[in-house]
Amino acid sequence: MFIAFEGGDGAGKTTQIELLRERLAAVGYDVVVTREPGGTELGADIRQVLLHGGDVAPRAEALLFAADRAHHIATVVRPALRRGAIVLQDRYIDSSVAYQGAGRELDPLEIKRLSLWATQDLVPDLTVLLDVTPQDGRRRRGQVHDRLESEQDDFHARVREHYLQLAAAEPGRYLVVDASLPREEIAAIVAERVGRP
Ligand code: Z5A
């Protein structure tokens, strides 16, 4: 089972992934927790360039996220899924569609196609969308902002809106949760949806 966690920055993805990992591991599942960008050695270098380097042109940014993803899916995620593990992943294709497609105003459909090519069409079984407002996300992040987090609130508002559109288009494959709920409440909603895989 492949579960992706998506949402604006500061939405609480890392927190929820850890809570779900604990729950699944406690009943004996082989659980792999990973993330994009940066889930591999190559990805760590790409992450550094993308989030903490200098200027990157929007199309170069889209290609670098897709390159990280291609390597990550081929070398970490597909092998884990093949051996029967549950993969909990912090960000996936929808991050590119929302941030590069809607945020940077590249064509979201082209961005999606690029990532589907990169991953040979691997689609999550479930995507948990933690819906956070740009203001709440900014407050939770505190003073430290990477290159994308430094974008203005209207950028993050476009990202949020596009995420919600993606979820509305495929309600069977998405779980949308209000990220302002208490941690344990969100964890219970996610656990109920995941059930016993
Ligand atoms: N990006 C992209 O543009 N295109 C792509 O294709 C991909 C990514 C894959 C990666 O950032 C950046 O790359 C991201 C999108 C872009 N940038 N932006 N903007 P990252 O991986 O470094 O960070 P992030 O994904 O934005 O996550 P984060 O900031 O680390 O947040 P989070 O994992 O969603 O949340 P958290 O660490 O669990 O929680 C944040 C804080 O809130 C923390 O203090 C928690 O204790 C607190 N928290 C968590 N849950 C709650 C609740 N329920 N209530 C109150 N407080 C809470």
pLDDT > 90: percent of the chain: 88
pLDDT > 70: percent of the chain: 100
How far is residue 162 from each of residues 88, 174, 188, measured CA to CA in Å? Answer: 22, 14, 26
Q: At residue 127, what are phi and psi to the nearest 5 degrees?
A: -120, 120
pTM of the entire structure?
0.97
Q: What amino acid is encoded at 167 in this protein?
A: A
C-alpha to C-alpha distance for 131 and 143, rounded to whole angstroms:
21
The pick from 91, 133, 136 for probing ligand 1's pocket by mutation, whose C-beta has the most ligand atoms within 8 angstroms, reads: 91
3-state secondary structure of 74: helix
Residues at CB less than 6 angstroms from ligand 1: 7, 9-15, 36-37, 51, 65, 91, 95-96, 99-100, 140-141, 148-149, 182-183, 186
The confidence band for 24, taking pLDDT boundaries of 50, 70 and 90, is: very high
The confidence band for 147, taking pLDDT boundaries of 50, 70 and 90, is: confident
Q: Sign of dihedral through CA atoms 99, 146, 130, 181?
A: negative
pLDDT of residue 78: 98
The confidence band for 148, taking pLDDT boundaries of 50, 70 and 90, is: confident
- Tens of pLDDT, residue by residue over 30-62, are 999 999 999 999 999 999 999 999 999 999 999
C-alpha to C-alpha distance for 152 and 148, rounded to whole angstroms:
9
When computed from its CA atoms, the radius of gyration of the chain, rounded to whole angstroms, is 16
- What does the pLDDT average to over 77-103? 98
CB-CB contact of 148 with 56 (8 Å): no
